[in-house]
Amino acid sequence: MSALRADLHIHTCLSPCAEDDLTPATAAGLAKLAGADLIAVTDHNSALSLPAAKAACDAYGLQLLPGVEANTREEIHLLCYFPDVETALDFSERLYRALPAFPYDPAIWGRQLVMDENDQVLDQVPKLLTGALDLSLAQTAALCRSLGGIPVPAHADADSYSLFSVLGGWPMDTDFDLLEVRDPEHAAKLVRCGFFPAEKPMFFSSDAHRMEDVACRLCEMDEDFPLVRLLKK
Amino acid sequence: MTSETLCAACGFCPAAGDGERTVTGVFTGDLLSWAMGRAKEGDIWFTVMGNVNTVAVAALADCACVVLCHEAVWDEVAVQRAAQQGVTLYTTDLPEFEASFLAATRLGLTPPAP
């Protein structure tokens, strides 16, 4: 079997910072058009777009890796991937309890729309989803693993909300098997300088918040890649 | 002035270390990638980042001590690592600006020229 073309970091209209038009069904359709075989919908601290994303991916003949982009207490973004939507929803419920009840005004932050696969609004989430959880990076990673998921530091080389920007490099109290990076060249430089360990497989994604960015770059993954294997479980 | 004398005068609570290092300056900030190149030897460092990596950066920069502000809590691993590496840690309920201002006043630091 040939390698899968994957975009494993896509936001939808559930994320307040993403376009309202970027519904789960639209994200799946755009990814299919861009030539993706496998996508992950990963909204901030929530899995509530995943049921619609799963239905849309099934309809388009795309594989969906269920995910959530958690924002830890340190304000590090951690992609948490799960073998099925139900487990991701369970994780998401636990995160919601650990979210601060920060005053949230959709007019300022953006709406947080829960959609069905036909682009109908089912609900709006009342607590701001982009807040930092009352869970540390190590605790969030442990919770993800306890549910059978794989935690992956998001855009680990980026200037904000990343392992590098917040912790100055690799965490000393927890470990990760994989890294998502924004700029593979910059990430390679960070490895050479000793900020990140050398042996960790890296992949890149779109981190799309707008329609035009969905699957704007695709990373090739073979069947042995840990996140592809997670899907096969 | 030693960390112990300064922090006792400011009402900061000891969390690890002996506080014997002399404080010569103040650094305030939370992102460790920024602190790595900017915190100086002898600084008392004010932050809300209670992660063990803060201890490693403080050791590398040779800071006198680190004060965790805003009622934030040191991770257990951070306290253990600080004890191993001889890094002195404190906590305070004060916000970072107030805690930094208090320490700078006690140290007799003057404001930078505009």
The model's confidence at residue A8, banded by pLDDT at 50, 70 and 90, is: very high
pLDDT tens per residue across span B36-45: 999 999 999 9
Q: Which residues contact A4 (CB under 8 A, 6 or more apart)?
A: A37, A38, A63, A220, A221, A222, A223, A228
Q: Are B49 and A74 a contacting pair at CB < 8 A?
A: yes
Please tell me the predicted confidence (pLDDT) of residue A27. Answer: 98
Query: What's the confidence (pLDDT) of residue A232?
Result: 82
Task: Tell me which of B51, B54, B75 to substitute to probe the interface with A (most A C-beta atoms closer than 10 Å).
Answer: B51
Q: Determine contact: B61 vs chain A, CB below 8 A.
A: no
The distance of B60 to chain A (nearest Cα, Å) reads 12
Note the pLDDT of residue A121.
Answer: 98
Q: Beta-carbon neighbour count of residue A130 at 10 Å?
A: 21
Min Cα distance B71 → chain A (Å) is 14
In order, the DSSP letters of A52-101 are HHHHHHHHHT-EE--EEEEE-TT--EEEEE-SSHHHHHHHHHHHHHTS--
Whether residue B21 is predicted with pLDDT greater than 70 in this model: the reply is yes
Q: Which residue of B has its CA nearest to A135?
A: B75
DSSP for A3-33?
PEEEEEEE--TTSTTS-TT--HHHHHHHHHH
Q: What is the CATH number of the domain that holds B46?
A: 3.40.1390.20
Whole-number Å distance between alpha carbons of A50 and A3: 24
Tell me the average pLDDT of chain A.
96
**Secondary structure (3-state) at B107:** helix
Q: Do A172 and B35 touch (CB under 8 A)?
A: no
* pTM attached to this predicted model: 0.93
Instruction: Read off the pLDDT of each residue in B6-19 and give the average, rounded to a whole number.
Output: 97
Domain-wise residue ranges, chain A: 4-232
Q: What is the pLDDT of residues A14-36, one digit of tens each?
A: 999 999 999 999 999 999 999 99
* Yes or no, beta carbons of A166 and B32 under 8 Å apart: yes
The count of domains in chain B is 1
Classify domain A4-232 by CATH number.
Answer: 3.20.20.140
User: What residues of chain A lie within 8 A of the CB of B33, using their CB?
Assistant: 164-169
Residue A1 has a pLDDT of: 59
Mean pLDDT of the region A71-87: 98
Residue B56 has pLDDT above 80, yes or no: yes
Residues in chain B: 114
CA atoms within 13 A on the CB side of A228: 17
In chain A, what residues touch B81 (CB-CB under 8 Å)?
172
Domain residues for B64? 3-107
DSSP string, A180-214: E-S-HHHHHHHHHTTSS-TT--EE----B-SGGGT
Under a CB-based contact definition with an 8 Å cutoff, are residues A129 and A44 in contact?
yes
pLDDT in tens, A198-231: 999 999 999 999 999 999 999 999 999 999 999 9
Q: pLDDT value at position A186?
A: 96
The shortest CB-CB distance from A167 to any of B53, B77, B81 is to B53
Contacts of A167 in chain B (CB under 8 A): 32-33, 51, 53
The ipTM assigned to this model is: 0.85
* A103-134 pLDDT, tens digit each: 789 999 999 999 999 999 999 999 999 999 99
Query: What tokens appear for A50 in the block?
Result: 């995943």
Q: Would B112 be classed as within a structural domain?
A: no
Evaluate if residue A233 carries a pLDDT over 80. no
Q: Report the distance separating Cα A220 and Cα A4, nearest Å.
A: 5
Q: Quick check: is B113 in a domain? A: no
- Rounded Cα distance between B66 and B43, Å, is 8
| Whole-number pLDDT of residue A2 | 78
Q: Tell me whether B52 touches chain A (CB under 8 Å).
A: yes
* Contact check, Cβ <8 Å, B31/A137: no
Q: Across the interface, do A166 and B49 touch by the CB < 8 Å criterion?
A: yes
At A152-197, the pLDDT tens digits run 999 999 999 999 999 999 999 999 999 999 999 999 999 999 999 9
Give B-chain residues touching A137 at CB under 8 angstroms.
51
Report the residue of chain A nearest B56, measured CA to CA.
Answer: A172
Residue A205 has what pLDDT? 98
Separation of alpha carbons A122 and A118, rounded Å: 10
Q: How far apart are CA A51 and CA A44, in angstroms?
A: 16
Question: For B33, which of A74, A136, A164 is closest by C-beta distance?
Answer: A164
Does some domain include residue B23? yes
Per the domain annotation, does B67 fall within a domain?
yes
Minimal CA separation from B108 to chain A, in Å: 31
pLDDT in tens, A145-157: 999 999 999 999 9
- Residue contact A173–B49, C-beta within 8 A: no
Within-domain flag for B66? yes
Chain A positions in Cβ-Cβ contact with residue B75 (cut-off 8 Å): 136, 138, 173
Mean pLDDT score, B25-33: 96
